[in-house]
């Protein structure tokens, strides 16, 4: 899915990873500086500057003054980019949801059983570990899918 989104948006892997990070941070109301983006992507400050220049030039990124630290610059995905990413993903999500909703109760039970076994084969309760990393009250895409399709949600 990420590859298709990158292709449709005409972006390289690092550019798309940067935008995903910025969009996710915006959803949590977390400011992102160039240093934080560089740390997340594991790239140098020079590479981050080139990346942000490229994304600003393409209209995908905005540089904003930091509200407290006059020396710092905040990075933010543009509203156009938020709309473009949502538009690209929403069609795929709708098709995936339709596929899940088309399963009867027996088929859903088989899928849940299979996924439970795969999860158990991975090791400790990966879902619980991941859930512990989420803020209290956070709703995951798995929770939404379970609610929307009638699949049971195991934790």
- Per-residue pLDDT tens digits for 66-115: 989 889 999 999 999 888 877 777 777 788 888 888 989 999 899 889 98
Task: Check pLDDT > 60 for residue 44.
Answer: yes
Domain boundary residue, one of 83, 112, 131: 83
Q: Please, which pLDDT band fits residue 43 given cuts at 50, 70 and 90?
A: very high
pLDDT in tens, 109-126: 998 899 888 888 887 655
pTM of the model: 0.59
Domain boundary residue, one of 83, 115, 141: 83
Residue 90 lies in a domain: no
Rounded Cα gap, residues 140 and 134, in angstroms: 9
Q: Please, which pLDDT band fits residue 135 given cuts at 50, 70 and 90?
A: low
Task: Check pLDDT > 60 for residue 137.
Answer: no
Asked if residue 78 and residue 107 are part of one domain, the reply reads no
Task: Check pLDDT > 90 for residue 16.
Answer: no
Q: What is the pLDDT of residue 49?
A: 96
Average pLDDT over residues 14-35: 92
Residue 134 lies in a domain: yes
78: Cα within 13 Å, side-chain hemisphere? 12
Length of the chain equals 155
Domain boundary residue, one of 20, 49, 83: 83
CA distances from 23 to 69, 80, 114, 119, 151 (A): 22, 12, 32, 28, 28
List, in sequence order, every residue forming a beta bridge with 76; answer none if it has no partner.
Answer: 62
Question: If residue 77 lies in a helix (H) or strand (E), which one and from where to where?
Answer: strand 73-77
Rounded Cα gap, residues 150 and 12, in angstroms: 37
Range of the domain at 152: 103-155
DSSP 135: P
122: Cα within 13 Å, side-chain hemisphere? 12
Asked if residue 131 and residue 72 are part of one domain, the reply reads no
Q: What is the pLDDT of residue 155?
A: 46
- Which runs of consecutive H residues, i.e. helices, occur in the chain? 2-9, 13-27, 34-41, 45-57, 79-101, 105-122, 126-132, 141-149
Asked if residue 12 and residue 74 are part of one domain, the reply reads yes
CATH code, domain with 22: 1.10.10.10
- Count of the separate structural domains present in the chain: 2
């Amino acid at each position: 899915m990420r590859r298709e989104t990158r292709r449709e948006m005409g972006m390289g892997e690092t550019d798309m990873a940067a935008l995903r990070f910025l969009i996710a941070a915006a959803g949590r109301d977390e400011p992102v500086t160039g240093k934080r983006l560089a740390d997340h992507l594991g790239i140098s400050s020079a590479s981050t500057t080139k990346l942000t220049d490229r994304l600003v030039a393409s209209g995908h990124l905005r540089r904003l003054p930091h509200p407290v630290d006059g020396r710092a610059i905040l990075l933010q995905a543009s509203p156009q980019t938020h709309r473009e990413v949502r538009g690209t993903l929403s069609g795929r999500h709708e098709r995936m949801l339709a596929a899940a909703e088309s399963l009867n109760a027996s088929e859903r039970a088989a899928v849940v059983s299979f996924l439970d076994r795969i999860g158990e084969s991975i090791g400790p309760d990966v879902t619980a570990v991941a859930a512990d990393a989420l803020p209290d009250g956070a709703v995951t895409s798995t929770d939404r899918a379970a609610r929307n399709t009638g699949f049971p949600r195991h934790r």
